[in-house]
Amino acid sequence: MKPYRVLLVISDQWKDPASYLIADGGEFQTIVTLFKSWGIPFDILRLDQQVMDPNLFTNMHGNPRYGAILWDADTTGQILPQDFGVLADAVEKKGISFIAIGDRIGEKVVQDVLGIRYQGEHPHSSHVKVSAEGSFLLRGLNSDLDMGGPLLPFKERVQVISEHAQVLAAQGGMPAITERELSKDTRAIWIGGDIQQMFLYPALRTVLRRAVTEAIGYALVKTWTDHVILTMDDMGNAQNSWLEHWHYPTLTQEQIRKHLIEPLRSHHAILSLNIVPGFVDDALRRVVPSWQQQFVDAFGTAQDYISTKRGIDEGVAAGVFELESHGWTHMQPDLTSAPGPWWGSDVNAERSEVGWYREFFDTRRNREIPAAEQMFHLLQSRDWIKDQFGLEPLAFAAGGNAVSLSPANNTWRLAGEAGFGFYGGYLGKDLAIQGLANDTAEFGGSDDVPLVLPAPPDGHDRGITRDPEAFAKVFDLYPGHVFTGLDEYVGYMHASVRMATSPNVGAEKPEPPIIRLDISLDPHYCRALIAKGSSWHLHLSDWLREQIHPGRLKVNGIQTVGAAGEWTIVRFEPGRTENSLELH
Ligand SMILES: [Zn+2]
């Protein structure tokens, strides 16, 4: 059985020479986002820093390390001199399946493996349409594969002729998706398309996901159809007390109960609160815990952060709130020097400048916040929230989305290093994706990525003070949806799924499993899955099912449902960090 791991090969798309931050946009960032979101394990090989070598593709026993190679390498880019014969050997001699996308097929070896010949690339107005009925790759898709994607007057059409591959889809009479059977369990698949936008088309994302199953034979995946993650910013922050154009009374326990907790409860929904645990105390000129504040502000408004805290506690106890980090103070680290001080200033003077109320980019002085200062604020936020609520925040969102972007001061990089698991994109020890500032990927709300939705009416506690009934209307706007939390999304993205090195374990000797996967849940990043359990899809290709006649599944050693079909739902019960899945 092929190992359950994909090698993503790129040329020079990864602009971070240290291979940590992915902020490059384009198909590379999209593919990494998709694979993290699906939970499909992968490594990245960058040909601008590494030379292809047989050892990249095999373990110390000479067996394949990967079930499939995903080829996203433009070999006309800035890459090291490469021997592409190594790639042909990995596919043809080691039996690693091969998937190439878009126009990344310029290399002759790549065309030879795929069984197609590259002719050129020109604009064309036609849609990509299914041409061979009944293929596994395109099963269940509309015959027009452009459905649901952007309507463009034309797209770059990569023009090929097929020599040894089956044409599954075509664009204006030319092959667009091809598949070649190299052996009974090895496939070479080309998903053609305009590399700039092909994955904005939902069908092509689905084809990519199904291609992994077809290439390896099986996949354990997470999909997010009709999943919404509600977020709300700002509870605990100082803007509502001091910034004239963002002025309002902090929510009381009663408001939180009536307008948030009750509707959430009755819809079995979760709201991720991005909260601010530190408050700038004018008299002391230092940061103090937000939730001790009870005063009448300079506008004559009574502020009761103690009541806000009680409301948050109540929602956490009811299981409807998750607490995430919105920074430590939502304020500049330097509130003293010119053009300040902000401390003690008049509400009609410096205090009315929104630039003071941003924490991770100095919007008052138009300069970045140095890395060490940002890191201090990130860790203070984490530690104070933990102290105040007994919960460590897993996701982060910078106040006002004001962030520093230089390599040294990059806010996403620092948040990832601080142990956060999400800020508009995946954050982890392996890499960080600089997600879109508004927390929503351009394909959020699809099968592939949940919709991260600022809670109505405005994604802030402020909106509830103005239009308290607006929040509950979200459940009418998204009927039948699952309102999950950021913690759960982080958990799936961080679950480690790998094929057991020795599937023939212990008492199973008389009848060893055909496939055994070990699913490890990190106690930090995956805590929501450990607490609530997790639910996945085991996806089997037609060719694998024909060859092995799978009969049944064992989840954590206990026999469960049969697995004769293409899809089987696999559920891991709560309370475990190590899980196993066996296919017999
Ligand atoms: Zn904010």
Q: 125 C-alpha vs ligand 1 centroid, how far in Å? A: 43
Average pLDDT, the chain: 95
Work out the pLDDT band at 509, boundaries 50, 70, 90.
low
Give the Å distance between the CA of 463 and the centre of ligand 1: 12
**Percentage of the chain lying above the pLDDT 70 cut:** 97
What distance in angstroms lies between residue 405's CA and the mean position of ligand 1's atoms? 19
Distance from the alpha carbon of residue 267 to the mean position of ligand 1, in angstroms: 26
- Identify the bridge partners of residue 190 per DSSP, sorted by sequence position: 100, 178
* 3 state SS of 175: strand
Q: How far is the CA of 359 from the centre of ligand 1 (A)?
A: 10
pLDDT recorded at residue 502? 55
Distance 7 CA to ligand 1 centre (A): 39
pLDDT single digits (tens) 37-81: 999 999 999 999 999 999 999 999 999 999 999 999 999 999 999
Mean pLDDT of 162-175: 98
Radius of gyration of the chain from Cα atoms? 26
pLDDT at 507 over 70: no
Integer Cα distance of 297 and 308 in angstroms:
16
Distance 404 CA to ligand 1 centre (A): 16
Instruction: Name the β-bridge partners of 123.
Output: 156
Contact status, residue 543 vs residue 185, Cβ threshold 8 Å: yes
Q: How far away, in angstroms, is 317 Cα from ligand 1 center?
A: 24
In single-letter form, the type of residue at position 38 comes to: W
Q: Average pLDDT of 238-249?
A: 94
In this predicted structure, what is the pLDDT of residue 441? 59
Mean pLDDT in residue range 183-206: 96
Quick check: 489 and 324 in contact, CB under 8 A? no
Distance 237 CA to ligand 1 centre (A): 8
Structure tokens belonging to residue 266: 């009755």
501: pLDDT confidence band, cut at 50, 70 and 90?
low
Confidence class for position 435, pLDDT limits 50, 70, 90: confident
Mean pLDDT of 498-508: 61
Return the half-sphere exposure (C-beta side, CA atoms, 13 A cut-off) of residue 538: 25
* Res 555: pLDDT: 94
Distance, CA 339 to ligand 1 centroid (Å)?
A: 22
Interval between CA 228 and ligand 1 midpoint (Å):
21
**CA 16–ligand 1 middle distance (angstroms):** 29
Burial tier of 126 (Cβ tally within 10 Å: 0-12, 13-18, 19+): middle
- Cα separation, 276 vs 291, whole angstroms: 10
Distance 417 CA to ligand 1 centre (A): 22
How many angstroms separate the alpha carbon of residue 238 from the centre of ligand 1? 10
State in Å: Cα 27 to ligand 1 middle.
Answer: 30
**How many angstroms does the Cα of residue 144 sit away from the middle of ligand 1?**
42
**Of the candidates 306, 225, 320, which has an alpha carbon nearest to the alpha carbon of residue 272?**
320
Q: Is the pLDDT of residue 320 over 80?
A: yes
Q: Is the pLDDT of residue 166 over 50?
A: yes
Q: Please count the other Cβ atoms lying within 10 Å of the Cβ belonging to residue 471.
A: 20
Which of 513, 478, 485 lies closest to 499, judged by CA?
Answer: 513
Angle at CA of residue 436, ends 420 and 444, nearest 5° = 95
CA 196 to centroid of ligand 1, rounded, Å? 33
**pLDDT digit string (tens) for 285-298?**
999 999 999 999 99
Question: What pLDDT was estimated at residue 438?
Answer: 47
**Spacing, Cα 50 to ligand 1 middle (Å):** 42
Instruction: State the distance from the centre of ligand 1 to the C-alpha of 246, rounded, in angstroms.
Output: 10
Cα of 221 from ligand 1 centre, angstroms:
34
**Cα 298 to ligand 1 centroid, rounded to whole Å:** 21
CA distance 235 to 251: 8
- Cα–Cα distance measured from residue 165 to residue 178, given in angstroms and rounded to the nearest whole number: 6
CA of 111 to the centre of ligand 1 (A): 51
Band of residue 510 on the pLDDT scale cut at 50, 70, 90: low
In Å, how far are 26, 433, 436, 462, 522 from 412, measured between CA atoms? Answer: 18, 7, 11, 26, 21
Residue 229 exposure: Cα atoms within 13 Å on the Cβ side = 26
Question: Looking at residue 194, what is its pLDDT?
Answer: 96
- For ligand 1, the distance from its centroid to the CA atom of residue 459, given in whole angstroms, is 9
CA atoms within 13 Å, Cβ hemisphere of 3: 22
Specify the pLDDT at position 503.
47
Ligand 1 center to 23 CA (angstroms): 23
Distance 229 CA to ligand 1 centre (A): 17
- pLDDT number for residue 439: 44
Q: H helices then E strands: how many in the chain?
A: 16, 31
Opening angle at CA 48, ends 46 and 54, nearest 5 = 60
Q: How far is the CA of 543 from the centre of ligand 1 (A)?
A: 51
- Give the whole-angstrom CA distance, residue 258 versus residue 270: 15
Query: Identity (one letter) of the amino acid at 326?
Result: H
Q: Is the pLDDT of residue 491 over 80?
A: yes
For residue 233, what pLDDT is reported? 97
